[in-house]
Amino acid sequence: MKQVDPEDCVGEAAGAFVFRSRPNCSLTSAQEQLAFWSLAAPCCAAAAAFAVAGFWIILLFAGLQTGVLAWAFKALRGREDDCESLTIAGDRVVLEWRSGRRQGRRELNRQ
């Protein structure tokens, strides 16, 4: 998939009102890894302790929980380039958006 610069979401016109909306992706990759392992490690440690005590079935649920958590972080990272913009220039209103692989543009009359 081609990486697109977030600023490419809008073609600005001189003197136009432009409103951009983007997700707040405040976690860096290192912070995301830290958050993942700080949640996954205690879960796996507790599951291992229960497995040693004879309750081995909990390993399946701990693995499922860790897998879903990894999927959620990956899904959030995949949507960090999404954006929407609204441009009002003269009597034109332009709405542009990018969501995942889909993108679109609508141009409307302000009247």
Higher pLDDT among residues 42 and 3, named by residue: 42
The domains of the chain are located at 13-109
Helices (H), 1-111: 29-52, 58-78
pLDDT digits (tens, 9 = 90+) for 64-99: 999 999 999 998 888 888 899 999 988 889 999 998
pTM: 0.65
- Structure tokens that stand for 69 in this block: 């958590």
Which residue bears the tokens 């809008």? 10
pLDDT digits (tens, 9 = 90+) for 23-78: 888 888 899 999 999 999 999 999 999 999 999 999 999 999 999 999 999 988 88
Q: Are 38 and 27 in contact (CB under 8 A)?
A: no
